[in-house]
Amino acid sequence: MKVSIFLAILLAGAACTAEIPDRVITVMGEIRPDKLGPTLSHEHVLVDFIGAEFSEPPRYNRDSAYWIILPHILEIRNLGVKTFVECTPKYLGRDPLLLKKLSEETGMNFITNTGFYGAIDNKYIPAPVLNMPAEAIAAFWIAEFRQGIDGTGIIPGFIKIGVNPTELSDFHKTLVKAAAQAHKATGLTIMSHTGPAVPAFQQLDILKSEGVKADALIWTHAQNEKDWSKHVEAAKAGAWISLDGFWGGAEKAAEIAEMVVNLKKHNVLHKLLLSQDSGWYDPDKPDGSNYQPHTPLFTELIPALNQAGINDADLHQILEVNPGKALTVGFRVYEE
């Protein structure tokens, strides 16, 4: 009896003092969030548009894809990028082993994901999943977090879902609910391909009803919402605002710069993520002729941001500090 009380006190003490350090999960393992360095928070090295039914096993030769992709990664490494958040979900060409090979070769951090992508009317969702309850869907993602992806031992660093750019369908509500449940089990941040504000705010409502705070959500493709006050509103609620569509062009650069300035004006620059959504090796174009470089952010967008009054400290916040915080594994939940 005495021994067990002693043990209980010891264990309680250990629980109080054992602080779990903040961490981000890359394909090579865990790193501290402040070690991410300059980060591209939403890119793709590969996307296969064939649809869920035919996407696995891969339709491409991994080595051939690797040699097409590598020069594009070396190009951004030369520009100082240290971390690449790869947002291609399962059934759309997610390939953790390819990312690991790129990471080993370049020394850069690559982060992959778990989750299912419901946008494009569920083309990338296997038919049986459409009838599953949220708990069963979440169980897939939680298992990948605990056991690694498809026997590779590689752990996902965030949950990627996707919804249509309209009011949420019943199934998309289920996907969001599953993401909330998986967040509560894993502490992984939810990155949701969304677009307009209507589905973004519906998702925040569902998360809240599941006890999950807004900071667990990255509102992805927020640039597609033209009412910029919605960016501010969601950021003030705690959500991450991801402006992530830029393949070049002065007009587009100026527009995104204005969105960033608006967030700065409202003191929510600490909730902004900025990236390009570029790359996309396509197995149907194996010569890589369609591959969009990951460089316009540096060659065009940053100069436009500078011109609009976004300074180096702001850029450090947006491209280094914020991604580390957004992708830190941790439970963003309301106290019971």
The Cα 264–Cα 231 span in angstroms is: 11
232 vs 301, beta carbon nearer Zn ion = 301
Do residues 242 and 221 make contact, with C-beta atoms less than 8 angstroms apart? yes
Q: How far is the CB of 160 from Zn ion (least distance, A)?
A: 9
87 vs 98, beta carbon nearer Zn ion = 87
Q: How far is the CB of 125 from Zn ion (least distance, A)?
A: 17
Give Cα 223 distance to the centre of its chain: 16
211 vs 293, beta carbon nearer Zn ion = 293
- Does position 86 bind Zn ion by CB under 5 A? no
Q: How far is the CB of 244 from Zn ion (least distance, A)?
A: 7
Do residues 256 and 243 make contact, with C-beta atoms less than 8 angstroms apart? yes
Q: SS3 for 86?
A: strand
Nearest to 23 by CA among 157, 128, 165: 157
Q: Which stretch binds Zn ion (CB under 5 A): 12-20, 123-131, 275-283, 314-322?
A: 275-283
Dihedral sign for Cα 148, 25, 197, 226, please. negative
Q: How far is the CB of 280 from Zn ion (least distance, A)?
A: 9
A 10 A CB-CB count for 104 gives 12
Q: How far is the CB of 245 from Zn ion (least distance, A)?
A: 8
40 vs 87, beta carbon nearer Zn ion = 87
Q: How many residues in the shown chain lie near Zn ion by CB under 5 A?
A: 2
- Alpha carbons within 13 angstroms on the beta-carbon side of residue 226 total 0
Using the rule CB under 5 A, which residue among 73, 87, 129, 188 binds Zn ion? 87
Query: What DSSP character marks residue 110?
Result: E
Residues 128-147 that bind Zn ion (CB under 5 A): none
Q: 197-209 and 170-186 are packed helices; what angle lies between their axes, rounded to 10 degrees?
A: 50
Q: How far is the CB of 301 from Zn ion (least distance, A)?
A: 16
117 vs 314, beta carbon nearer Zn ion = 117
Do residues 93 and 10 make contact, with C-beta atoms less than 8 angstroms apart? no
> Which whole-number Å values give the CA distances from 299 to 79, 185, 236, 262, 326, in the listed order?
10, 40, 30, 22, 25
Give the list of residues 6+ apart from residue 273 with CB closer than 8 angstroms, or none: 41, 42, 218, 240, 241, 242, 243, 244, 318, 322, 323, 326
Q: Which stretch binds Zn ion (CB under 5 A): 70-78, 80-88, 115-123, 143-151?
A: 80-88
- Does position 48 bind Zn ion by CB under 5 A? no
144 vs 277, beta carbon nearer Zn ion = 277
87 vs 327, beta carbon nearer Zn ion = 87
Q: Which stretch binds Zn ion (CB under 5 A): 87-95, 158-166, 229-237, 290-298?
A: 87-95
Residue nearest to Zn ion (CB): 277
Helix spans in the chain (H): 2-17, 62-78, 96-106, 134-147, 170-186, 197-209, 229-237, 250-265, 296, 302-307, 312-316, 322-326
Q: Which stretch binds Zn ion (CB under 5 A): 4-12, 183-191, 235-243, 269-277?
A: 269-277
Q: Which stretch binds Zn ion (CB under 5 A): 85-93, 166-174, 253-261, 295-303?
A: 85-93
Taking residues 222 to 261 in sequence order and writing x for each that binds Zn ion by CB under 5 A, - otherwise, the string is ----------------------------------------
Dihedral sign for Cα 111, 116, 119, 122, please. positive
- Does position 277 bind Zn ion by CB under 5 A? yes
Interface contacts to Zn ion, rule CB under 5 A: 87, 277
